[in-house]
Amino acid sequence: MFVHRAETKEAALALIRAGSNDCEVARRLGVARSTVRDWRAPRYIAKSAMTCPRCWRGVRRAFGFTEADYTELLGLYLGDGYIARTGRSDRLRLFLDTRYARIVDEAVALLERSFPGRPVGRVPAHGGTMTVVSLYCTHLRCLFPQHGPGKKHERPIVLERWQRMLLGREPWPFLRGCIRSDGCVFVNRTGKYAYLSYDFKNRSADILGLFTDACELVGVEYRRYAGHVRIYRRASVALMQAEVGLKE
């Protein structure tokens, strides 16, 4: 098998970045057009040497998580996510409100950079009012060990030690994921007063507890009720606006 010099490949990639098409690059460098095509869009992805620390199986494609991305995705999963076993792989689905196009787009981008090389699906549901964002990965249940049979509010949801450490270092993205899934931002009107408020609703007492734990880490005051958590103090709302943003 003939292997081109590294300098030739780098020259080809430079021409591609400059806007040259495959035929032009092949003609200028004296290589086959199919070779230039493969350099432009490689079909081979080298296997990762990573080993999953939970199941000890090999990880074919390396993950791209940052700590902030992981805690945000954890918040999305605990709010509106579901993991199912499909054949030899797992499937993560996030059920998002179609009205919030920016949240849907950024959820797709989050999955794409966290799971590089894996296709991310986006399909409408419930007559278009819901958008289901999904991907397949063999190690989803290892990454999110809170997965289990039954509904989340009918079983314990407890973070593992390594997850608690990540949440302690990156609480704001976790709060963002929670608000973007099971939360809302609205104007609360009481008599002649009107003020912005945040609300996170979930049927799991454990998940509500994780939300309030994160609030305490960042100094956000809240009031917890039986099925939701309300944030309405002016200083705390200002913090949430700056770090979490509005739901749009």
Domain boundary assignment for the chain: 6-40, 178-243
Q: CATH: 3.40.930.10, 3.30.43.10, 2.60.40.420, 3.10.28.10. Which one for 178-243?
A: 3.10.28.10
Whole-prediction pTM: 0.77
Contact 160, 229 (CB under 8 A): no
Q: How many CA atoms lie less than 13 Å away from 34 in the CB half-sphere? A: 0
pLDDT in tens, 174-212: 999 999 999 999 998 887 888 999 999 999 999 999 999
DSSP conformation class of 147: -
pLDDT confidence of residue 1: 41
Contact 240, 220 (CB under 8 A): yes
Low-confidence ranges of the chain (pLDDT < 70): 1-4, 42-61
pLDDT in tens, 54-73: 665 666 667 788 999 999 99
What secondary structure does DSSP assign to 166-233, as a single string? HHHH-HHHHHHHHHHHHEEEEEEEETTEEEEEEEEE-S-HHHHHHHHHHHHHHT---EE-SSEEEE--
